[in-house]
Structure 1
Amino acid sequence: MSDQDRVNGSTAPGSGEILQLLLDGRARTKADLVHLTGLARSTVSSRVDALLASGLAVPAGEAASTGGRPPARIAFNPRAGAIVAVDLGASHGTVALADLSGSILLTSTHPLDIAAGPVEVLDRVVAEAAVLLEHDSVRDIPLVGVGIGVPGPVEHSTGRPYNPPIMPGWDRFDVPGYVQRTFDVPVLVDNDVNILALGEHALSYPDARDLVFVKVATGIGAGIIAGGQLQRGAQGSAGDMGHVRVPYSPDSSPAAKEDRDLEALASGTAIAATLRECGQATESSADVVALIRAGNAAAIEATRQAGRDVGEVLASMVNLLNPSVIILGGSIGRAGEHLLAGVREVVYRRSITLATQHLAIVQTQGGERAAVLGAAIMVTRDVLAPANVDARLSAARR
């Protein structure tokens, strides 16, 4: 989006809209901002002064003089606020601190059991975040928000997990309210695949306007970015690939002659069950990954077939959404290129040529870092939204 696009449609941009013009990291003079917004110089000056007083903008030296005193420049200050970014998995938790540009400043990862319930897990998250916030390098930065990704469906408008299959005790639990008992800031919660999509998009494909991130692990889900925006759907359930029914194929395992949910065919748990029938001692996705990395032929073929099954669903998504990039992640997606090969085999064969002629199907590059980055981005977009910036500045003046 161009600078002028940011202010079109608004006859009198507030300080929040002025700030949007600085988020690209370029320092600008007040004269630059007058030119971009069409506002009177006195109006721009007062709104810039409010941003400077809040710390969201800082002086950034002087521009070249065209005669007389050189004009002062201002720039966005990413250290005007800190964000706690959290990635919760089935058996691990990562807590990070980020600044308002989304840069990760500190991070800490520990084993945890999501099935221990929300109180125990969130108490650990809050305690670890408090430790990070006391670090000398960030102690003077005010906390402005918390972003949390969880491995299950979330009603994004309330931040409450909704009937999450691997999260007993979390159903409709008020995650934001519980965290706000310690941190009195906005708390945003989303499912882990959405925050992975945001993070991977920022890290690896920032110019892609249409992207699908697919996580294949204990479960299967997709994060969809269309037109540059994350798509959550009406209630937050967009991207639930795992419950899409897959037409029966004699190549799939198990060999029940009926349509089944994709998750029952191609998740790490399903692959482990298939391998047990072949005499392998596999109980979980981690066991499958270990066999793949050891070069086990049965595990490799089962994973490639899982990729074909995932490809059956993705082929329809490609025809409907026409993404330019599909990224495969999750523990199974990262364990070699066998899942990737199966997906490519089917998607390029079953999708229309126009949709696939420039389509890249790739493995994740961001790894675990993408998740906490995505959680941070989710919060920065909310905290720095023009209306929220204006509300913050208004509250500060009272």
Structure 2
Amino acid sequence: MRNATVIGGGIIGLAVARELTERGLHVTVLEKEGRWAAHQTGHNSNVVHAGLYYRPGSLKARLSVAGNRSMVAFAREHGVPVDVCGKLVVATSEDELPRLASLAERARANGVPTTVVTPEQAREYEPEVACVGALRVHTTAVIDFSAVCRALVSLLSTAGADLRLGAPALAIRTTGSRIEVATPHAVVVSDVLVNCAGLHSDRVARLAGLTPSARIVPFRGEYYALLPHRRDLVRGLIYPVPDPSLPFLGVHLTRMLDGSVHAGPNAVPALRREGYRRRDVSFGDLAEELTFPGTWRFAARYAFPVGWDEVRRSLSKRRFAADLARLVPAVTPRDIVRHGAGVRAQALLPDGRLADDFLVEEAPGQVHVLNAPSPAATSAFEIASHVADRVTADG
């Protein structure tokens, strides 16, 4: 039996481990933290995306549309809470209507079930919404991705996988056809290495001897929540029409499984790869970012006015609420409270462009998932199949 080592215990690593186990490999999963899903998986918006935003034919488009189906099916089979509630993407001004039409066309190209609706029809879904037109996306869902991970851990344990918490990869070397991964407690030897380390995926790739084509640059996404007595302003999910010239979707409103309503996230540079708070700073992480040419080229492209606007919104509750009020005018600064943050591992290319698609790179006996931002959690089982195809092709 072939052995595989998977580095990273988020939803991608655990899904890959399950897929490899089902294909007959014995799998060891190494997670540096003391719990599963400790970082991106456990700090995201818990939305199962439909796949309408992504370039037709791209990995993101293909894997997210399929992933929407497989993630919902897995949740229903294994008792994980999920609600296929749909969402509204709303144009709040006439100049956004052409972008909304383009988005509807992209949804058709990707095979995403959607309906263009009038403002009156939009208010049947969301009575408090303000728009001049909207797109109803029928297959968007909300879920508990951490619960998905708990179900995967249970399945892997039953299947005999070796699951190790508190086991960071300290060094990696290839000896003949075998790959050795040193952890604080043991050296794990296997035939195949799969890197699903998320925020540290480029570092793990370098440990393994690769020169990855992208550098991970962390962006913190900050959330607010509607106060309990104002949750009735939002029934489901309300998103703005994205600006295709910008790298992120913009703040939106999401009703969660427990009835709470989250608002956000924004996108500001994090000063540490696991920098969930503004005061979290790593001078080592900053040095890596500031000595990478792509960082400065990205800053030249987006720092003003886009980046500056994001920073001001981060610092001003009033500005954050004003952006939400473009979607739901009744929202005021008094209606929202801060509600934590997540950090997105964004792969930045040397020319300053953000890697637009999922990025998977290979070496003999190795597969490295180097860029897996949203909709990666949605697409976890499809990414796992894609990675496993590469692993088994080597075998």
More strand by share: 2
TM-score under structure 2 length normalisation? 0.25
Higher RCO (Cα < 8 Å, 6 or more apart): 2
